[in-house]
Amino acid sequence: MLVSDYKRCFDIFLCGGTQHFAQLRHLLPKLLPYGTVHLASSFLSQIELHELHGLYDVLHTPRHSRDGYYNFELFSIRDINRLATAPWFIKLDADVDVDPGWIGYVEESIAAHPDAVLFGPIRGNVDINAELHGVLGHDIKVTNGKKVIGGFYVGRTAYFKKHLRLMDALHTTLASRAGAKPAKFRGNEDTLRSLLVHATGAGDRLHVCDCRGLIRIEGRNTAEPAAR
């Protein structure tokens, strides 16, 4: 594919703060040829942004929380589905590293699972179990639902746009359960995203695909077989 074709096919979302500056400077050039790169600045300084200029396509400055980590979590929950326009979006953390050819993993996984709505290289250690009532008028029960961890995952944009209201409603409901206001909910964004897939009956379209070590997530060995 030409670079222009990748830009039309993939939106890539990466979020980081001052503590991630060196990692962002290392990682962004590896992503730029393979999609429209969205950098969400969790309080990067103007000097740091100046040094990163040219290594991303679009800059976002979410201000959901004064805490950089929760600002990133809430950006991933509340903004990515709305901002993505390409057929697929890729979300990854600043502490991820990728080898040359990493985009081949994405392309091969889509070819192997053309029905996929969400996939990534690592399954969460804890499955999703949830029972919720009255979420947009629906009762939701998920038992032993597979989870794709948030360090790196790929989502089908149209699917998550279709269910944007439900994802927001799930977030609000879980925030209420936690005794917190939605904007302060310290939930786990990858759990919420995987929960949405199962809640809409698409659990069989969520896949864990071996990346053969092309994508390395800090603290996780993606060269190991996926958990069953």
Q: Could you give the C-alpha distances from 171 to 19, 76, 138, 209, in angstroms and in order?
A: 27, 12, 15, 27
Q: Who wins on pLDDT, 73 or 36?
A: 36
Strands (DSSP E) contained in the chain are: 10-16, 36-41, 58-60, 88-93, 96-98, 118-120, 128-135, 138-145, 152-156, 206-208, 215-217
The residue extents of the domains of the chain are: 3-217
**Of 40-44, 72-76, 84-88, 218-222, minimum mean pLDDT range:** 218-222
- The reported pLDDT for the residue numbered 183 is 46
Rounded to a whole number of angstroms, the CA Rg of the chain reads 17
Contact (CB, 8 A) for 38 and 56? yes
Q: What is the pLDDT of residues 165-213, one digit of tens each?
A: 999 999 988 887 766 554 444 458 999 999 999 999 999 999 999 999 9
Domain 3-217 bears CATH identifier 3.90.550.10: yes
- The percentage of residues in the chain with a pLDDT greater than 70, rounded to a whole number, is 91
- Residue 219 is predicted with a pLDDT of 60
62-71 b/e (C-beta count within 10 Å ≥ 16 → b): bebbeebebb
Please provide the average confidence, as pLDDT, over all residues in the chain: 89
Find the mean pLDDT for residues 38-49. 93
- pLDDT tens digits, one per residue of 125-174: 989 999 998 899 889 999 999 999 999 999 999 999 999 999 999 998 88
